[in-house]
Structure 1
Amino acid sequence: MKVEHLSTEVIKPCTSTPLSLRDYKISIVDELAPVMNVPVILYYPTDDIHSSGKENGTSISKCMHLKKSLSKVLTRFYPFAGRYMKDLYMVNCSDQGAEFVEAKVDIRLDELIGRGKDMKVELLNSLLPRPIGAGDEVTDPMLAVQVSVFACGGCAIGVLSSHRIADISTISTLIKEWATDAKLLLGAFDENDPVPVSPIWNSASLFPGKKMSGLPLGLIREKENIDNPKFATKKFYFSSSAIAKIRKKARLDNSSEKLPTRVQSLWGIIGKAIIDINVANPEKPRGFLIIQAVNMRERTDPPIPKNQCGNLYLISTVQSLAGEKGVEFQGLVDNLTRFVKRDVEVCKMLWTAGNGAQLISQGFNELIKCLTDPEMSCVNLFTDWSKSPFYEADFGWGKPVWVSSVNVPVINHVYLLRDKSGEGIEAWVNLKIDDMPKFEQDSNIMEFTT
Structure 2
Amino acid sequence: MEIEIISREFIKPSSPTPSHLKKFPISFIDHITFRNYVPLLFFYNDTKVCDQTSKISNLKNSLAQILSIYYPFAGRFKDQLSIECNDQGVSFLVANIIGTKLSTILQNPTENVLNPLFPDELQWKKMDWNESILVIQINCFACGGFVISVCACHKIIDAATAFNFMNDWAKLNREEGDSNSKFSLPYNSLYAGDTIFPQGNLPNFPEGEFVIDKTIVCKRFVFEASKIKLLKNMVNFDTHAVKNPTRVEVVTSLIYKCVVSVLGLNYKTTSLRMAVDLRKRMVPPLSQKCVGNIVWFLFVMNPELHDLVFKIRQGLCEFREVYPKKFGGKEKDLSFIFECLKQVTTSVSESNSIDQSLIMYASWCRFPMYEADFGWGKPIWVTTSACPVKNAIVLMDTRDGDGIEAIVNMKENDMIMFEHELELLQYASLNPSIIVGHDVANGF
Q: Could you say whether these structures have the same fold, taking a TM-score greater than 0.5 normalized by the shorter chain as the test?
A: yes
Q: Check whether the contact 2:365–2:395 (CA below 8 A) recurs between aligned residues.
A: yes
After TM superposition, list the pairs within 5 Å mapping 1:3-18 onto structure 2. 3-18=3-18
DSSP 3-state at the match of 1:435: helix
DSSP 3-state at the match of 1:61: helix
For 2:57 and 2:147, the matched residues in 1 are separated by 15
> In the alignment, is residue 243 of structure 1 matched against residue 221 of structure 2?
no
Alignment-derived partner of residue 278 in structure 1? 263
Deviation, 1:231, is 1.8
Give 1:371's match in structure 2, choosing from 351, 354, 378: 351
> In the alignment, is residue 138 of structure 1 matched against residue 123 of structure 2?
no
Give, as a single letter, the amino acid of the residue that structure 1 aligns with 2:81: Y
DSSP 3-state at the match of 2:170: helix
Give, as a single letter, the amino acid of the residue that structure 2 aligns with 1:127: L
> In the alignment, is residue 219 of structure 1 matched against residue 204 of structure 2?
no
After superposition, the C-alpha distances for 1:139-173 in whole angstroms (9 at most, x for unaligned) are 31111101111231201001111111111111111
After TM superposition, list the pairs within 5 Å mapping 1:161-310 onto structure 2. 161-187=152-178, 196-198=184-186, 199-209=189-199, 210=202, 211-219=204-212, 230-253=215-238, 256=241, 258-279=243-264, 287-310=269-292
Q: CA RMSD in A?
A: 2.5
Q: Would the alpha carbon gap of residues 177 and 446 (structure 1) be closer, same or farther in structure 2, given more than 3 Å must change? A: same
For 2:170 and 2:341, the matched residues in 1 are separated by 34
> In the alignment, is residue 110 of structure 1 matched against residue 103 of structure 2?
yes
For 1:205 and 1:274, the matched residues in 2 are separated by 40
Q: Would the alpha carbon gap of residues 256 and 265 (structure 1) be closer, same or farther in structure 2, given more than 3 Å must change? A: same
Alignment-derived partner of residue 26 in structure 1? 26
For 1:214 and 1:277, the matched residues in 2 are separated by 33
Give, as a single letter, the amino acid of the residue that structure 2 aligns with 1:8: R
Q: Check whether the contact 1:382–1:413 (CA below 8 A) recurs between aligned residues.
A: yes
After superposition, the C-alpha distances for 1:112-159 in whole angstroms (9 at most, x for unaligned) are 1112xxx32243122111413444423311111011112312010011
Give, as a single letter, the amino acid of the residue that structure 2 aligns with 1:424: G
Deviation, 1:433, is 1.7
> In the alignment, is residue 341 of structure 1 matched against residue 341 of structure 2?
no
For 2:32 and 2:241, the matched residues in 1 are separated by 39
For 1:71 and 1:165, the matched residues in 2 are separated by 19
DSSP 3-state at the match of 2:136: strand
Q: TM-score, normalised by structure 1?
A: 0.86
Q: Would the alpha carbon gap of residues 50 and 230 (structure 1) be closer, same or farther in structure 2, given more than 3 Å must change? A: farther
Deviation, 1:368, is 3.4
DSSP 3-state at the match of 2:317: helix
After superposition, the C-alpha distances for 1:281-307 in whole angstroms (9 at most, x for unaligned) are xxx997312111110102111222212
DSSP 3-state at the match of 2:142: coil
Structure 2: gaps spanning 5 or more residues: 430-444
After TM superposition, list the pairs within 5 Å mapping 1:15-54 onto structure 2. 15-46=15-46, 48=48, 50-51=50-51
DSSP 3-state at the match of 2:149: strand
Tell me: higher relative CO, structure 1 or 2? Use CA pairs within 8 A at least 6 residues apart. Answer: 2
Deviation, 1:189, is 8.1
Q: Check whether the contact 2:274–2:361 (CA below 8 A) recurs between aligned residues.
A: yes
DSSP 3-state at the match of 2:226: helix
Q: TM-score, normalised by structure 2?
A: 0.87
Alignment-derived partner of residue 77 in structure 1? 70
For 2:331 and 2:232, the matched residues in 1 are separated by 35
Give, as a single letter, the amino acid of the residue that structure 2 aligns with 1:343: F
Deviation, 1:428, is 0.9
Give 1:403's match in structure 2, choosing from 363, 368, 382: 382
Structure 1: gaps spanning 5 or more residues: 53-59, 221-228, 322-326
Deviation, 1:255, is 9.2
Q: Would the alpha carbon gap of residues 257 and 336 (structure 1) be closer, same or farther in structure 2, given more than 3 Å must change? A: closer
For 1:414 and 1:134, the matched residues in 2 are separated by 18
Alignment-derived partner of residue 93 in structure 1? 85
DSSP 3-state at the match of 1:375: coil
Give 1:316's match in structure 2, choosing from 298, 302, 313: 298
For 2:342 and 2:248, the matched residues in 1 are separated by 23
For 1:267 and 1:273, the matched residues in 2 are separated by 10
Q: Would the alpha carbon gap of residues 135 and 254 (structure 1) be closer, same or farther in structure 2, given more than 3 Å must change? A: closer
Alignment-derived partner of residue 401 in structure 2? 422
Give 2:151's match in structure 1, choosing from 143, 160, 179: 160
Deviation, 1:176, is 0.9
Q: Check whether the contact 1:122–1:406 (CA below 8 A) recurs between aligned residues.
A: no
Give, as a single letter, the amino acid of the residue that structure 2 aligns with 1:418: D
Q: Would the alpha carbon gap of residues 257 and 294 (structure 1) be closer, same or farther in structure 2, given more than 3 Å must change? A: closer
Q: Would the alpha carbon gap of residues 97 and 426 (structure 1) be closer, same or farther in structure 2, given more than 3 Å must change? A: same
Give, as a single letter, the amino acid of the residue that structure 2 aligns with 1:268: S
Deviation, 1:380, is 1.0
> In the alignment, is residue 361 of structure 1 matched against residue 335 of structure 2?
no
Q: Would the alpha carbon gap of residues 189 and 104 (structure 1) be closer, same or farther in structure 2, given more than 3 Å must change? A: farther
After superposition, the C-alpha distances for 1:297-343 in whole angstroms (9 at most, x for unaligned) are 0211122221211111110012328xxxxx62x32222222212211
Sequence identity (%): 27
For 2:212 and 2:177, the matched residues in 1 are separated by 40
Q: Check whether the contact 1:47–1:152 (CA below 8 A) recurs between aligned residues.
A: no
DSSP 3-state at the match of 2:279: coil
